[in-house]
A and B are shown apart, each in its own frame.
Chain A
Amino acid sequence: METLQFTRPAQAARIQPALVGYVGSGDLEVMVEPLQGSQAEIHIQTSTPGSEIRWRQVIEQIEARIALPAMRMDIHDFAATPGVIRLRIEQAIELASAMEAQA
């Protein structure tokens, strides 16, 4: 198991806690909680060693598509592929942001 951490620039946004996925084979769980300030703190525990570059690339791909909200994001990864990782992260951010509209 490997522990990684990324801190990325983000924009202040009103988001709600959200959780998607689970820690099963080829999948991951992603938890999002609001964070004061203008940073996204991403904490990752992954079963795949030596995957730091891959994680960085996935995060950069997501940033190119959507603006990260200020948040703490926790990821428990059980050997998910980059495609699944990206899907789950975007799903979590969408869910966390969608709640603002409902509230």
Chain B
Amino acid sequence: MSELNANFHGNYEGGFIDLSARKRIESLLDNGSMRELLTPFDRLTSPWLEKQGIVPQFDDGVVIARGKLDNKAVVVAAIEGGFQGGSLGEVGGAKIAGLLELAIEENRKGNPTAAVLMLETGGVRLQEANLGLAAIAEIQSAIVELRQYQPVIAVVTGPVGCFGGMSITAGLCSYLIITREGRLGLNGPQVIEQEAGVEEYDSRDRGLIWGLTGGTQRFASGLVDAFVDDDVSALSTSVRDCLGQGVPALHRSDDISAPLTRLQQFDTREQIDAQRARQALTEGKTA
């Protein structure tokens, strides 16, 4: 099982985006500390995809593990964006929810355990709609409980980005780290185009899409905490920094009255662009 955990010599260099979900976890954790839970050899595939004629994957596109970061206990989950668009179904969703509940259990027992979530996902897997939604709800309530004890750190590097219900999940985390290539948004570009019309939102206009939902914009708008290069060591440093900061005094998701007011005052009659969106989200903000 060398690809799973045995042969890591701490020699990852270069880009993070090109790594598989499993290697992303391995590259982050302290050398040799990764222990994958419910590995592909447990054969926990989606029971629903096959019924719909879709080839499953042995880990259902989600890798979960325990390990150490600077010798501190953590749990880490990574979604494989290349498998079914990183969509979350029953099995993959339950793996993440169960992992977070395990961390909560450890904290209750007096063993501080933080969490890192690497989110490359379009959100709910449409083929497993209700079960995926239920799993995401479980993940979210677990994050809200766990973040009282220890930081829950979300990482969105691309290439998929983080959309749908999982963008709300990212918003609930104690800290959110993004790259220039990463994107964060409730609805994906094609969904918005379909609903609002191509004149308003052209999903093929990459400048527009990244301008509004890309990492640079999300960082400038104060919706994420750290902006890093697509680089294994930069990302690793950033995650360790967040971990070192401990539980934030005020979680972003508990601090919504000011942003809500700003959104309510926003004039939607005019087409929005990146500059106006940034202004609307940061106006009058002190921090």
Contact = CB atoms under 8 A, between A and B. Distances in A.
Interface of A: 1, 16-20, 22-25, 27, 29, 31, 33, 45-47, 74, 76-78, 95, 98-99, 102
Contacts of B55: 1, 23, 45-47, 76-78
A76 B40 CA distance: 12
7 contacts: A1-B54, A22-B80, A31-B58, A45-B55, A45-B56, A47-B54, A95-B2
Contacts of A45: 50, 55-56
Given A16-B1, A27-B82, A95-B2, 7 more contacts: A1-B50, A19-B40, A19-B58, A24-B80, A24-B83, A45-B56, A76-B57
Interface of B: 1-4, 20, 40-41, 50, 53-58, 61, 80, 82-84
B50 A29 contact: no
Instruction: Name B's interface SS.
Output: loop
A15 to B, nearest CB: 12
Contacts of B2: 18, 95, 98-99, 102
B56 A33 contact: no
Contact of A29 (B4, B53, B58): B58
B58 A74 contact: yes
A5 B55 CA distance: 15
A18 B58 contact: no
Contact of B3 (A18, A46, A47, A77): A18
B41 A20 contact: no
Given A47-B55, A76-B58, A99-B2, A22 B41 contact: no
Contacts of B1: 16-19, 99
Contact of A22 (B20, B53, B54): B20
A92 B115 CA distance: 31
Contacts of A24: 80, 82-83
